[in-house]
């Protein structure tokens, strides 16, 4: 979507630990991104969708090619997260419900950064809890996960401990959005917020469908 028009203004922002620096931008024409949504500056930000991971629901290997023709939202998280992750997935489920049948042309890929604890069964149960068929849980080997995070400019860290209460996990909280060809469209910041512009985000997502890119 960055190629759909040139940004009218650039405001550089830092978006949390390890997050790629993106710019707030509106696109030329009738459509303008909602305030929480960010377009990557040309030549900077995240790259096209490419990965090899395992779908927790089917135990099958999946790649980015399996999601061609869908608007894809990609997020790094883990099931033992007590706040940011469940709030994010709950808001995504709300957005998908608002979109109705159009959500069938979208996928939210929840990629665990804690596969040691997020077994296929755990991850499958966790994503199903949010009641949206378009939310999928994916797992990967250490190299597969690292390769995907590097393409996104994302960071994560897992610090196990003998005391489960001290088991620490950190991760970038951006949601990366791709058009039907797997090209970067924009990122969404703040999906974990209790008050969110659901209408604006939904409009930005459906624009990728209406623009004929899916």
We report the CATH number of the domain holding residue 172 as: 3.40.30.10
Q: Is residue 35 assigned to a domain?
A: no
Query: Is the pTM value of this prediction over 0.85?
Result: no
Q: Which pLDDT score, from 0 to 100, does residue 197 have?
A: 87
Torsion of CA 145, 44, 33, 36, to 10 degrees: 60
Q: Is residue 87 assigned to a domain?
A: yes
Q: What are φ and ψ of residue 64, in 5° steps?
A: -60, -30
Q: Is residue 16 assigned to a domain?
A: no
Q: Is residue 22 assigned to a domain?
A: no
Domain count, the chain: 1
Q: Is residue 38 assigned to a domain?
A: no
Q: Which pLDDT score, from 0 to 100, does residue 104 have?
A: 94
Q: Is residue 85 assigned to a domain?
A: yes
Please list the pLDDT of the chain residue by residue as tens digits (214 residues).
322 322 211 222 223 333 332 222 223 345 677 766 666 655 557 889 999 999 999 999 999 999 999 999 999 999 999 899 999 999 999 999 999 999 999 999 999 999 999 999 999 999 999 988 899 999 999 999 999 999 999 999 988 888 877 788 999 999 999 999 999 999 998 899 888 888 899 999 998 888 754 4
Which among 76, 77, 95, 175 is positioned nearest to 134, based on CA atoms? 95
Q: What is the sign, positive or negative, of the torsion defined by CA atoms of 17, 19, 130, 120? A: negative
DSSP class of residue 186 equals: E
Q: Which residue range forms the structural domain that includes residue 73? A: 44-210
Torsion of CA 193, 199, 205, 206, to 10 degrees: 160
Q: Is residue 24 assigned to a domain?
A: no
Q: Is residue 141 assigned to a domain?
A: yes
């Amino acid at each position: 979507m960055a190629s759909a028009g040139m940004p009218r203004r650039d405001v550089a922002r830092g978006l949390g630990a390890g997050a790629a620096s993106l710019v707030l931008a509106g696109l030329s024409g009738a459509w303008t991104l909602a305030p929480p949504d960010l377009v990557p500056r040309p030549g900077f930000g995240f790259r096209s969708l490419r990965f090899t991971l395992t779908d927790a629901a089917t135990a099958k290997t999946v790649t980015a090619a399996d999601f061609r023709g869908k608007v894809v939202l990609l997020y790094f998280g883990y099931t033992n997260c007590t706040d940011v992750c469940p709030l994010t997935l709950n808001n995504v489920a709300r957005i998908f419900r608002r979109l109705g049948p159009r959500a069938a042309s979208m996928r939210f890929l929840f990629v665990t950064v804690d596969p040691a604890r997020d077994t296929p069964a755990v991850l499958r149960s966790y994503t199903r809890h949010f009641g949206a068929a378009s939310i999928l849980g994916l797992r990967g080997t250490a190299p597969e996960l690292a390769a995907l995070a590097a393409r996104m400019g994302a960071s994560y860290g897992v610090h196990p401990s003998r005391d489960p209460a001290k088991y620490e996990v950190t991760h970038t909280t951006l949601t990366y959005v791709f058009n039907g060809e797997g090209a970067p469209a924009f990122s969404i910041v703040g999906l974990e917020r209790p008050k969110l512009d659901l209408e604006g985000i939904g409009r930005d997502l459906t624009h990728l469908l209406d623009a004929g890119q899916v």
